[in-house]
Amino acid sequence: MKLVRKDLEKDNAGQVTLIPEEPEDMWHTYNLLQVGDSLRASTIRKVQTESSTGSVGSNRIRTTLTLCVEAIDFDSQACQLRVKGTNIQENEYVKMGAYHTIELEPNRQFTLAKKQWDSVVLERIEQACDPAWSADVAAVVMQEGLANVCLVTPSMTLTRAKVEVNIPRKRKGNCSQHDRALERFYEQVVQAIQRHINFEVVKCVLVASPGFVREQFCDYMFQQAVKTDNKLLLENRSKFLQVHSSSGHKYALKEALCDPAVTSRLSDTKAAGEVKALDDFYKMLQHEPDRAFYGLKQVEKANEAMAIDTLLISDELFRHQDVATRARYVKLVDSVRENMGTVRIFSSLHVSGEQLGQLTGVAAILRFPVAELSDQEDESSSEED
């Protein structure tokens, strides 16, 4: 993402002009937009024209409109973003108050104005404009007959290809059908890797599976690469890292990212940091439940006691339509930072973010046990009884 201009007042009202440069920037833009903001961008509008003879025709004209945002639609797989709203600035082709939908596109600038730019939104812009935050991890999560080729960016896990091949069982004295099907499956996975993984950007490719599937697949892939003199795979052989996962489904990627061999290799990526923080939370919940809280009220009480060491919060909560609820989450983030705590904002498009979403989207690892909260809950529940 490229920041063209930033005009903010003392009260944090103002506007920002940005140019999304990659598909992932559309996800960042989606997280910046809120209902009630004003968005100015170039768009195409179908305009009816009447000639001197009275015949009516229609032309598609490119014009720049300023909309008051009413609805935001994001397609995570295609990374497309559509914003619907009413026109709030005079335009020769579109009446004031008329509805229009702008489709934001990569490499086309837009200006976003807000009455209040809070700390979470401003941090999102900083991260989006930082070139170090690009997709540097790829993963192939597989089992016999099923493979998911994913890109793990700092803010989302994108499934780029899903390979499914029916593999017959081995039969006594006749394994040829099984072996042929397996070879066909491996070949399709290799093609998906070459098609969807940009080795110029990717630092590491995780190959995760149960059993010996990953070893057999990697042996096959590099044997074929030697036979066909595939320089792309041979030159990047050192980037492939084999790790264990319980299955070939996308959710098993979290296990692969938790592997110590992987975390040391990916120590500088945000994705690995999120996975480790969530793993630490689960361990704390198991061994010292008084130091692991989840749910907004619980976490807010822990924050009042200045007990939060690490706050885990999903970016989905900042997309809440109710301004007061959103402000409550922003206040919590600011307060934890003021008290020298660490804040990790999880992407809801990451496997770790999906898991945090199942825990209400907000959780905290505490510096010291806060037993009173648990006691208060027990007292209040006994009173209700």
Domains of the chain: 1-131 (2.30.30.870), 134-267 (3.30.420.60), 269-376 (3.30.1330.30)
At residue 186, φ and ψ (nearest 5 deg) are -60, -40
Q: Are 18 and 125 in contact (CB under 8 A)?
A: yes
Residue 262: per-residue pLDDT: 78
Confidence category of residue 174, pLDDT binned at 50, 70, 90: confident
Residue 382: per-residue pLDDT: 43
Residue 172: per-residue pLDDT: 72
Its sign, for the CA torsion 28, 311, 297, 340, is negative
pLDDT digits (tens, 9 = 90+) for 186-241: 999 999 999 988 887 787 899 999 999 999 999 999 999 999 999 999 989 988 99
- Separation of alpha carbons 191 and 187, rounded Å: 6
pLDDT digits (tens, 9 = 90+) for 22-31: 777 888 899 9
Contacts of 90 (CB under 8 A, 6+ apart): 96
pLDDT digits (tens, 9 = 90+) for 227-247: 999 999 998 998 899 999 999
Q: Are 214 and 242 in contact (CB under 8 A)?
A: yes
Quote the mean pLDDT of the chain. Answer: 87
Mean pLDDT of 303-323: 91
Q: Are 223 and 321 in contact (CB under 8 A)?
A: no
- Separation of alpha carbons 255 and 249, rounded Å: 11
